[in-house]
Chains A and B, each alone.
Chain A
Amino acid sequence: MEEKGTLTVKRGLAQMLKGGVIMDVVTPEQAVIAQEAGAVAVMALERIPAEIRAQGGVARMSSLELIQGIMDAVTIPVMAKVRIGHFAEAQVLQSIGVDYIDESEVLTPADDLYHVDKHAFTTPFVCGARDLGEALRRITEGAAMIRSKGEAGSGNIVEAVRHIRAIKDAISTLTSIPKEELVARARDIGASYELVRDVAETGKLPVVLFCAGGVSTPADAALMMQLGAEGIFVGSGIFKSNDPKKFARAIVDATTHYNDPKIVADACRSLGTADAMPGIDVRKLAESELLSTRGN
């Protein structure tokens, strides 16, 4: 009896990535740098979020040639993004064998009402969330991993902090309220009662929770891990810095030893005078420029 694509193996790969850093890369060479620096996986894409933000236009699934080139270049898992709701892009990525599909607000949404039915796929999905209700809706749809959304390509950690805190605080509330309140709470946050009850019992999501969107320094990574993220996605933060190798290694070290300030300090020191990516004040972005509000 052999079963593929079960919830256990889909969620299981994310469990193997815990405590690690997943890095955005746009070339096979960057993927090799990421792997050598200790990345647990790479996200293959044509433009990193900071560039998508700057250049505008419709952002779609990356070219298959690029994704395949990255899959051939490294031995670690390779993830790739599809537009929210674009199940045909997801079918294509599954057919070429990517290890994880990110149904991502960083790309231009294809469907403004519905997300992909992720149970229909063998390849696991990761989805973004700003709060517990959004996370549980994605899990109901079949997401095998959740990442806080943050504000991708901003180089600003404030939204990531807001989203991780919102998720963790809501979980903590569920564990402390009387059982009879759970049905109403599930209705209020727009999530299934069964999942809300499970979270109330276990005190955690049933899938791994990473942080994404705005991590650009070793201290940012340590902050997010201490706030309860189980691992880190770094998008623009590494290859938009002026010394990607150093930044990649330093963020990996700080993620592993997030609770040891001396090691995080060593990681910061290892950067010398290298500069982090320039950031932007998220409050100055127009509503239409925000990526995190896409999908709900």
Chain B
Amino acid sequence: MPYLVGVLALQGDVVEHAAALERAGARAIAVKTLADLDRVDALVIPGGESTTVVRLLDRFGLAAPIKSRVRAGMPLWGTCMGMIVAAHDVAGMDQPTLDLIDITVRRNAFGRQNESAEIEMVIPVLGPDPFPAIFIRAPWIERVGPSVELLAERDGHGVMVRQGNVLGTSFHPELTRDHRVHAYFLSMIDDAKQDVGKASSAA
């Protein structure tokens, strides 16, 4: 049975992520409510506007349940806006976040829309072929906590990170036909299931 992956659907490029997850071998649903969240094995927070989504997460009571699921081991991947929402904090702003990965992000750090770019990047965890990374008004990762793995950098700034069951990317793999990052995220669900298996056999 393929994994059921939710894409948070309060605002942003939801259908692009859902299509890419399905190409990578998962089933995908849009998550708008608690009932949707309860069904999924993992959650993607897509690209969008972080100020909008932070307000809507709070307004519709999804912030606390997402935090408790992720802290209990559910894999989470945030792309661009999603990574900002998942971060510990936002540099230079008092914007609220879910605090699920120990990083400080800087919003729009690579510049406004005119600086948005497509860049071929070698990302070691994805193999030797360059990955077509699409940056749109993108944030960078300014501080990385001790237990966070830095998986990719652009011009000396972190743009892909993982801490256990949480993945963050400044760029948008869902806008490409290359679904290696989506496949990598699905492998994190394998890891999470194994961890749960170990925990229960130890008990």
Contact = CB atoms under 8 A, between A and B. Distances in A.
A61 to B, nearest CB: 17
A285 interface: no
A15 B175 contact: yes
Interface stretch (B97-105, B110-118, B179-187): B110-118
A8 B175 contact: yes
B136 A13 contact: yes
B9 interface: yes
Nearest to A11: B175
Contacts of B55: 36-38, 252
A9 B113 CA distance: 8
Interface string B5-22: 000011111101000000
A77 B113 contact: yes
B73 interface: no
Contacts of B51: 35-36, 38, 75-76
Which of A4, A12, A39, A75 has the most B CB atoms < 10 Å from its CB? Answer: A12
B47 interface: yes
B114 A39 contact: no
B196 interface: no
Contacts of B112: 77, 97-99
Interface stretch (A17-25, A108-116, A127-135, A174-182): A17-25
Given A40-B48, A40-B49, A3 B113 contact: no
B72 interface: no
A16 B52 contact: no
Interface residues of A, number: 40
Interface in B48-67: 48-49, 51-52, 55-56, 59-60
Given A12-B172, A257-B32, A99 B118 contact: no
Interface in B174-199: 175
Contact of A19 (B10, B80, B120): B10
Contacts of B107: 75
Contact of B113 (A2, A99, A260): A99
Contacts of A94: 114
A237 interface: no
B11 A256 contact: yes
A98 B134 CA distance: 20
A41 B49 contact: yes
A54 interface: no
A12 B175 contact: yes
A97 B119 CA distance: 21
Interface string A28-48: 000000011111110000000
Contacts of A13: 113, 116, 136-137
Contacts of A9: 113, 116-118, 134-136
A1 B120 CA distance: 6
Which of A9, A75, A76, A123 has the most B CB atoms < 10 Å from its CB? Answer: A9
B81 interface: yes
A199 B181 CA distance: 29
A37 B107 CA distance: 19
A5 interface: yes
Contacts of A123: 113-114
A172 interface: no
Contacts of A3: 117-119
B134 A19 contact: no
A6 B117 CA distance: 7
Interface string B109-134: 00011111111100000000000001
20 contacts: A2-B119, A3-B117, A4-B115, A4-B116, A6-B117, A13-B116, A15-B13, A16-B12, A16-B13, A16-B47, A16-B48, A16-B81, A17-B49, A18-B12, A20-B48, A20-B52, A36-B51, A77-B49, A99-B112, A100-B113
Given A20-B49, A94-B114, 9 more contacts: A2-B119, A6-B117, A12-B172, A15-B13, A16-B47, A18-B11, A18-B12, A19-B10, A123-B113
Interface of A: 1-6, 8-9, 12-13, 15-20, 35-41, 75-77, 94, 97-100, 122-124, 252-253, 256-257, 260, 263
